[in-house]
Structure 1
């Protein structure tokens, strides 16, 4: 099975997590969700990443985004390592998301999460630092792949979720370095005569040497 491309549906796989067995479609239901993989438990960069995700869990919940992680370690390893993650992140209470135990690498292979440059002691390939965001239709909306040596920026992940959720329902795109509350860009499919009805706060068309009025800015729609 080829790796998932944007727009592909998450396979309805049965997976084992540190909390038990789940089917992915049941987990996703009709919610936004993020699946993020890491190479190994009990490793330094991974500990900082999952700790940061733990700290930011209320921000994901505020956006109604379910969280689930994955690595090639077994469930017992996950449950032991979680104590280190919480200690490092100074997180109290229950751990806020499940971690898939993908010892066979079958889930990682199906989703395209294998890092060819990283191997376990037994010579088995490890998962890369992948980020996959799924919409309520269970289809892949965004994916990012990082090598084992580079930790992810979860603030950026929240930013792109804000963009995805906004642009899924409004006829706008978000420009470079956009953050919530900043101006957006009107998508090219919107006709000039539609602007007033769609964007009551107004539209500004920026001048460019070509004279083509394709750079149209509008305040972020409500």
Structure 2
């Protein structure tokens, strides 16, 4: 298992773009590694197609994408044609799909879904999402069961928050979206807040504690 803040494993694997080393593939970019239970399955076909359509949005945020399942590269390449047809995609598939037939990666990264098995009784990968920063450290992880497709607009929203809060002393509130008001982090003193966030507001609450401080999103 990889915990938040840990350096993400620099695994080597075969993929639809050939042999790859994860850190080398990412370079100086952010990265999203996401797993799916199996090729030629319905929900996964919608997910990988949706991500393909969102590639321009991820690229704008300097994010590279990588999918993974316990299928072979040949299986991935065959399935890509179905993904493209169902999702009305054309041209080259815009991100690699890693093969993990041995399940070594799935097990080491905690991506195995114990309730989902293939025809041979082998466990399948769950719908995991890992967001890795340019420093190669894990910034976020989410695990979905096989029955629940992911909302990748939410993944983009989370990346916006991660990238903002990595450089500004703010946190993002519930349902925050790019351009929305942010929260001044508690470690910032009142005097420092006046300097850093001159337009910030302190919200009055019954406790009398001045911990709820909002500010327009810093640029």
Common fold: TM-score over 0.5: yes
RMSD of aligned residue pairs (Cα, Å): 0.8
SS of 1:115's partner is strand
CA distance in 2, matches of 1:199, 1:134: 29
In the aligned structure 2, how far is the partner of 1:47 from the partner of 1:8? 31
Q: Matched residues in 2 for 1:118 and 1:98: separation?
A: 24
Residue in 1 that maps onto 2:214: 217
Pick aligned residue for 1:40 from 35, 38, 48: 38
Match of 1:140 in 2: 138
One of 116, 120, 123 as aligned partner of 2:121: 123
Gaps in structure 2 of 5+ consecutive residues: none
Deviation at 1:95, TM superposition (A): 0.7
- Taking structure 2 as the reference length, the TM-score comes to 0.98
- TM norm structure 1: 0.97
For these two proteins, the number of residue pairs brought into alignment is 219
Looking at structure 2, the residues matched to 64 and 13 of structure 1 have their Cα atoms a distance apart, in angstroms, of: 21
More displaced stretch, 82-91 vs 67-76:
82-91
Moved over 2 A (4+): none
Query: Which SS does the other structure have where 1:118 is aligned?
Result: strand
Question: How far apart, in 1, do the equivalents of 2:5 and 2:92 lie?
Answer: 33
Aligned residue for 2:2? 4
Tell me the SS of whatever aligns to 2:91.
coil
1:207 maps to 204
How far the C-alpha of 1:83 sits from its partner, in A, is 0.8
